[in-house]
């Protein structure tokens, strides 16, 4: 998975993804499960103002509670603030971003496109070329081919052009 695909799934810019992964010391390859957690981290951090490291831990807890619980909540020490995450709603949006990434926003692969290997004889046959003469000539030895060529040269030298 490329950075562009990963950022689309997370719902952020590639720069945000790179900075967040550096802050969180995430060194793994881009994977769907990591995108799921980082996407929820982004939502929690932006919606609540929570520091990124705390939001990353909370995202892991929320995703770990699903499918047993449809919602996940956390309160601060005195109970004055409570964060509730509708995990199923988040996962629904995540699935939509994943689909969009796979269908529309995937980055092009580097390098030349793979060359399709096709059978030239079969392509000629489909085009309408009669290949029976070619196949018969391929069965001949080099000596037989030279003999036929000499016969054709004698035949062509013997032709005379007659004007109408």
pLDDT tier for residue 107 given thresholds of 50, 70 and 90: low
Q: Is pLDDT above 80 for 161? A: no
pLDDT tier for residue 105 given thresholds of 50, 70 and 90: low
118 vs 94, higher pLDDT: 94
Helix axes 14-23, 52-65, angle to 10 degrees: 90
111 Rama class: left (phi>0) / alpha (psi -120 to 50) / beta: left
Helix (H) or strand (E) holding 72: strand 71-75
Q: Is pLDDT above 70 for 106? A: no
Q: What is the token pair recorded at 22?
A: 């550096």
Q: Is pLDDT above 90 for 41? A: yes
pLDDT tier for residue 143 given thresholds of 50, 70 and 90: very high
Say whether pTM exceeds 0.85: no
Q: Is pLDDT above 90 for 17? A: yes
**Whats the size of the chain, residue-wise?**
164
Kindly report the CA angle at 1 between 88 and 85, in degrees rounded to 5?
20
Peptide bond into 67 cis (omega under 30): yes
SS3 call for 74: strand
Can you tell me the distance from the alpha carbon of 100 to that of 96, in angstroms, rounded to the nearest whole number? 6
- Gyration radius of the chain over CA positions: 34
Q: What is the token pair recorded at 110?
A: 């580097």
| Mean pLDDT over each residue of the chain, to the nearest integer | 87
Evaluate the CA torsion angle 8, 11, 16, 17 in order and state its sign. Answer: negative
Helix axes 87-103, 32-48, angle to 10 degrees: 120
């Amino acid at each position: 998975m490329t950075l562009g695909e990963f950022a689309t799934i997370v719902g952020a810019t590639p720069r945000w993804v790179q900075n967040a992964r550096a802050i969180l010391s995430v060194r793994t390859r881009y994977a769907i499960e990591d995108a799921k957690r980082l996407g929820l981290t982004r939502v929690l951090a932006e919606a609540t103002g929570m520091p990124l490291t705390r939001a990353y831990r909370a995202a892991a807890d929320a995703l770990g509670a699903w499918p047993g619980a449809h919602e996940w909540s956390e309160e601060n020490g005195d109970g004055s603030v409570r964060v509730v995450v509708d995990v199923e709603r988040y996962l629904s949006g995540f699935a939509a971003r994943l689909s969009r990434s796979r269908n529309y926003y995937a980055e092009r692969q580097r390098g030349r496109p793979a060359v399709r290997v096709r059978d030239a004889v079969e392509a000629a046959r489909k085009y309408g070329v009669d290949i029976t003469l070619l196949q018969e000539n391929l069965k001949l030895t080099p000596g037989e081919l030279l003999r036929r060529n000499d016969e054709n040269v004698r035949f062509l030298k013997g032709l005379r052009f007659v004007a109408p």
